[in-house]
Amino acid sequence: MTTDATPGIDPAPNPHATEEQVQAALKDTKLAQVLYHDWEAETYDEKWSISFDERCIDYARGRFDAIAAEEPLPYGRAMELGCGTGFFLLNLMQSGVAEKGSVTDLSPGMVKVALRNAENLGLDVDGRVADAEKIPYDDNTFDLVVGHAVLHHIPHVEQALREVLRVLKPGGRFVFAGEPSTIGDFYARWMSRATWAITTNVTRFGPLQGWRRPQEELDESSRAAALEAVVDIHTFDPDELAGIARSAGAAKVSTATEELAAAMLGWPVRTFEAAVPPEKLGWGWARFAFGGWKRLTWLDENVLRKVVPPKFFYNVVVTGAKPH
């Protein structure tokens, strides 16, 4: 049994890019997307602590409810753009948001892992390798289209949203979450860079050497970071993103932002986890990271949201509907 997207139609994953392909990808953002995400597909869930249990079901549902809590559920047929390993749609389906799903991604490796995850969860899901700017589904197919951390990778966001509206049924809704705000991306990058530099330098010599990852793994992370700079194309001001959605033809557009203090903990934590050997970090660390993130999320929602303007928060969420 294979979980490849559509054998014979969709391309196969390519997890081991050659040096020439990597060089070509530095000038071709879509090739970079495929190589980078095919390369990380099999380890992606571990790297980002993605799971399909209560913790991530609640997280995915929280992102959806941040902007679409009033909508009647469940949707019939839902599609995810840039699904990665299926984190958003599969967890939303588990929480009762949609009955049937289609996972799509430019990276064949990601579609393969997403389909495997769906199969393990017993969900009714099919999949296609798909460029968001040219979605391989008929007009008026879906009741809901979702995405998480995908719009900022797409060169022509308005074209992608036009395609989303084309494949939605009239009245159908889209929800895109987890997009970096312009200000949030600025502080997240600086905090990540500082964490990486401090961690990889203090573990060079002396008693902390045991906390240093092997040099070839650090070099590989640095090469990946070079491609990351090619695949991360946009950051968003919430009002500008709403304007792009309206220009694409969407009705009932709204945006929300989330995570300020939580993002300021989350980015250094993830960078630190990538910089040290995983076996050094046990359950105590996991509890600190998740507990800290939850407490700071509470602070964001109950205190900071009342005093800090929305554009300072890290994550942008946008929703809209296809006009009847």
Contact residues for ligand SAM, defined by CB under 6 A? 33, 37, 81-84, 87-88, 105-107, 110, 130-133, 148-150, 153-154, 178
Nearest partner of 314 among 40, 63, 47, judged by Cα: 63
Sole residue written with tokens 């949609």: 98
Cα gap 264→59, rounded to integer Å: 18
Nearer to ligand SAM, 83 or 321 (CB): 83
Q: How far is the CB of 203 from ligand SAM (least distance, A)?
A: 27
Closest CB to ligand SAM among residues 130, 145: 130
Query: In the complex with ligand SAM, which residue's Cβ is closer, 163 or 203?
Result: 163
Minimum distance of ligand SAM from residue 46's CB (angstroms)? 12
Cα 80 to chain centroid distance, Å, stands at: 11
Q: Which residues contact 67 (CB under 8 A, 6 or more apart)?
A: 175, 177, 254, 255, 256, 317, 318, 319
Residue nearest to ligand SAM (CB): 84
Closer residue to ligand SAM (CB): 107 or 315: 107
Pick the closer one to ligand SAM by CB: 133 or 200: 133
Minimum CB distance to ligand SAM, residue 40 (Å): 9
Distances (CA, A) of 81 to 108, 119, 228, 253, 254: 13, 18, 19, 18, 19
Closest separation in Å from C-beta 311 to ligand SAM: 21
Contacts of 71 (CB under 8 A, 6+ apart): 173
Which of 33/297 has CB closer to ligand SAM?
Answer: 33
Q: What's the min distance (Å) between Cβ of 280 and ligand SAM?
A: 25
Smallest separation, CB 119 to ligand SAM (Å):
18
Report whether 270 contacts 199 (CB < 8 A): no
Q: Smallest Cα–Cα separation from 79: which of 129, 27, 12, 147?
A: 147
Asked if the peptide bond before residue 310 counts as cis, ω within 30 degrees of 0, the response is: no
